[in-house]
Amino acid sequence: MQPEVVEALASRFRLHRLDQVADKEALLSEVGPHVRGLAVGAQTPVDAKIFDRLPRLEIVSNFGVGYDTIDAKEAGRRGIIVTNTPDVLTDEVADLALGLLLSTVRQIPQADRYLRAGKWPTKPYPLTSTLRERKVGILGLGRIGHAIARRLQGFDVAIHYHGRSRQSDVAYAYHATLLDLARAVDVLMVVAPGGAGTEGMVNAEVLAALGPDGIVINVARGTVIDEPALIDALRSGTIHSAGLDVFAKEPQVPQELIDVERAVLLPHVGSASVHTRRAMGRLVVDNLVSWFDGKGPLTPVAETPWSRRA
């Protein structure tokens, strides 16, 4: 978390930094019984084991919209509120998803590398694939999925989607299964939340259904894609390419993916602008302040709904 988040927390609360100490066990034993609020980075696991150490915990404020590393159901059972940072990052992540799509289809980073390597005077850059006449499938038509779809409309491509249910207020083509979606499109934009329910759902069969022109873009969680199956599909030409902002075991990226020159790989930067990270940080703090002011959480997650208690 940015220094300004830490400063804001320290000015309002008595702050203990588990991320700064070598002996986390010792700090947990010392202050755990008194801790009432937790501010966590999106990649920090928070589960029953941690809750056991924090018996007075009331709220977990997560820096990020995705909270697959937090056992929110368990939090709900214990009456602990979990909050995340929706909305403030929607447009930023959707912009990045479109950038990643264009970069992958038109090989923008590769062409940049080509110029820098001094190869242009020798021979023009090879022709690339195109976004023209493509059908784009969105896996997960939530806030970010909708923002991606709105942007895609400007690119004149057909838009399809798969999610748990058909959305009555959109005209995009719905597919009841991911496999049906993959059969119907040649670009798959992965925006589904991470966690057990979506783990490995973009599997070998789905990738094969996308076909040899197929392109996979992932700005959600690496776990949604069966990464070894993706590597196989890229190497064998089962699909054309992939643009990935997220990976199964970040910050480790398999060498087999790095070796695929056609793939575009980013170090999980979807929300990583100064503007948006600042807004996310503010929301992490504001959720805690609002809660401890007795005004309730601002953005509780679905598993821990909150209504003002009498």
Q: Where along the sequence are the contacts to ligand 8YV (CB under 6 A)?
A: 41-43, 63-66, 89, 268, 270-271
Active-site positions? 221, 250, 268
Least distance from ligand 8YV to the Cβ atom of residue 39, Å: 12
Least distance from ligand 8YV to the Cβ atom of residue 82, Å: 13
Least distance from ligand 8YV to the Cβ atom of residue 220, Å: 8
User: In terms of C-beta distances under 8 Å and separation of at least 24 residues, what long-range contacts does 257-266 make, across chains too?
Assistant: 257/227, 257/230, 257/231, 260/231, 260/234, 260/235, 261/110, 262/104, 262/107, 262/110, 262/234, 263/104, 263/234, 264/100, 264/103, 264/104, 264/108, 264/109, 264/110, 266/96, 266/100
Cβ nearer to ligand 8YV, comparing 29 with 43: 43
Cβ nearer to ligand 8YV, comparing 28 with 283: 283
The angle formed by the CA atoms of residues 17, 19 and 22, to the nearest 5 degrees, is 100
Cβ nearer to ligand 8YV, comparing 67 with 291: 67
CA distance 310 to 307: 9
Cβ nearer to ligand 8YV, comparing 127 with 274: 274
**Closest-approach residue to ligand 8YV (CB):** 66
C-beta separation of 207 from 183 below 8 A: no
- DSSP secondary structure string for all residues of 17-52: -GGG-S-HHHHHHHHGGG--EEEEETT--B-HHHHH
Least distance from ligand 8YV to the Cβ atom of residue 53, Å: 22
CA distance 132 to 75: 46
Least distance from ligand 8YV to the Cβ atom of residue 85, Å: 6
Cβ nearer to ligand 8YV, comparing 214 with 270: 270
